[in-house]
Chain A
Amino acid sequence: MQKLDGNVLAGPLSEVMTGDATSAHARCVHCGDVAVIAQAVVYADGSRFVARCRRCDSVLLTIVEAGDDVRLTMTGVTAFTMPV
């Protein structure tokens, strides 16, 4: 497992959203910290990614790429705001 940051999510997230989702702001539902997705702490295991809050370490979202499927679970963020 590699410790990375939200920049690495740009590829997987591009499969489910148009535009660069790593530049989106989001609020951690646990501690209220507002950051761009690129600033999250990300643990990567092959094509499975878990993004955690840079401040309180709660899980923000998980994304799994398996073949042609991408599964995104966004349980820990709110006010997800994409730049247009």
Chain B
Amino acid sequence: MIAHAAWHVATVSATHPETPSARRIVLDIPDWPGNLAGQHVDVRLTAEDGYQASRSYSIASSGDAPSIELAVDRVASGEVSPYLVDDLMVGDQLEVRGPLGGWFVWRPDPAHRPVQLIAGGSGVVPIAAIVRAHRAALDVTPLRLLYAVRTPDDVFFRSELDREAADPGPTAVHVDYVFSRRAPDGAPRPAGRLTRELLGELVLPPQQNPLVFVCGSTPFVERVLGWLKELGHEVDDVRAERFGGA
């Protein structure tokens, strides 16, 4: 069951730097009905003169708690994201509509259908919610994550992802990074852009019938969707979420 979406008043209870360009924001929402992993909210800002702007942000958390976690990347000269990353302060209030979306979501799965997660940059936010929900539920569904990101400093949810990598147990998510600009020492491959060949190597093959989630900038998602099709994945086995950007 998906909770009914409505506007809520949210109060910023904490902020943390996530990367040099991104920030994690915790919002307290007393009447929040809870949300599923992968859902998002619409955040609405109102200026003193009444001008309003709203943008969608994925929720990095899930469950029944009356609070949600967002992670916002600064888009240079953007209208909303620089404000959220640089100016918003603990105690500030925002209007938030949600929980939203019912298709780009994952629930603990009694059938244990394998899941391939593919994230580009900040597109990892709803994917991180899925990784965390999988761990919280002690679900044994095989999950694999391919995370394409510029440099090691740009990785979101580092501690959550390191915890998966460090866990030898059968339920840990297998994480592969593709660093486009700079790879850390000892990385399995040098820095370079994601290619179709690499994608084919690092994602579960169609023969395993995975459900695939792809999220990131629109050009990233569209490139990956094209390659997945060429690799033999059925379009309706792939769930995509485009964040925008040229």
Report whether chain A binds chain B. Answer: yes
**Cβ–Cβ < 8 Å partners of B103 in chain A:** 6-7, 20, 22-23, 36, 38-39
Q: How far is the CA of A8 from the CA of B242 in the complex (A)?
A: 9
- Tell me if A71 counts as interface (CB < 8 A to partner B): no
Residue contact A5 to B242, C-beta cutoff 8 Å: yes
* Shortest Cβ distance from A36 into B: residue: B103
Per-residue contact bits, chain A 1-43, to B (CB 8 Å; 1 contact, 0 not): 0111111101100100011101100000000000010110000
- In the complex, how many angstroms separate the beta carbon of B131 from the nearest chain A beta carbon? 19
Interface of B is mostly: strand
Interchain CA distance A50-B218 in the complex, whole Å: 16
In whole angstroms, what is the CA distance A38 to B218 when docked?
Answer: 14
Question: Which residues from chain B contact A19 at a C-beta distance below 8 Å?
Answer: 2, 102
- Decide if B100 touches A14 in the complex (CB within 8 Å): yes
Q: Which of A4, A36, A47 has the most CB of B within 10 A?
A: A4
Q: List residues of chain A with CB within 8 A of the CB of B98.
A: 11
* Known contacts A20-B2, A23-B103, A38-B101, A3 near B218 by CB under 8 Å: yes
Question: Does B150 interact with chain A (Cβ within 8 Å)?
Answer: no
CA distance A47 to B98 in the complex (A): 16
Query: B240 near A5 (CB under 8 angstroms)?
Result: yes
How far, in whole Å, are A8 and B4 apart by their CA atoms in the complex?
16
Count residues of A near B (Cβ-Cβ below 8 Å): 22
Residue from A4, A11, A20 within 8 A of B42 (CB atoms)? A11
**B240 adjacent to A10 (CB under 8 Å):** no
Interface size class of B (residues with CB under 8 A): 20 to 34
Residues in A neighbouring B240, C-beta threshold 8 A: 5, 39
Q: Tell me, rounded to whole Å, the shortest Cβ–Cβ distance linking A45 to chain B.
A: 12
Considering the chains assembled together, what is the distance between the CA atoms of A11 and B43 in angstroms?
10
* Contact A10:B5 (CB < 8 A) given known A36-B103, A38-B104: yes
Q: How far is the CB of A16 from chain B (nearest CB, A)?
A: 11
A11 touches B218 (CB 8 A): no
Known: A2-B244, A47-B54. A7 touches B4 (CB 8 A): no
B104: chain A residues at CB < 8 Å are 7, 38
Q: Given A3-B218, A22-B101, are A11 and B244 also a contact pair (CB < 8 Å)?
A: no
List chain B residues, Cβ under 8 A from A5: 240-242
Q: A3-B218, A19-B2 are in contact. Are A10 and B242 (CB under 8 A)?
A: no
B195 within 8 A of A: no
Which residues on the A side are within 8 Å of B42 (C-beta)?
11
Interface 0/1 of B35-63, CB less than 8 Å to A: 00000111000000000011010000000
Complex Cα gap A8–B5 (Å)? 13
Q: Which residue of A lies closest to B43 (CB)?
A: A11
- CB contacts (< 8 Å) of B244 on chain A: these are 2-4, 44
16 sample A-B contacts, Cβ–Cβ < 8 Å, listed by A number: A5-B240, A7-B101, A7-B241, A7-B242, A10-B5, A14-B4, A14-B5, A14-B6, A19-B2, A19-B102, A20-B5, A20-B101, A38-B104, A39-B103, A39-B240, A44-B244
Identify the B interface with A (CB < 8 A). Answer: 2, 4-6, 40-42, 53-54, 56, 97-98, 100-104, 218, 239-245
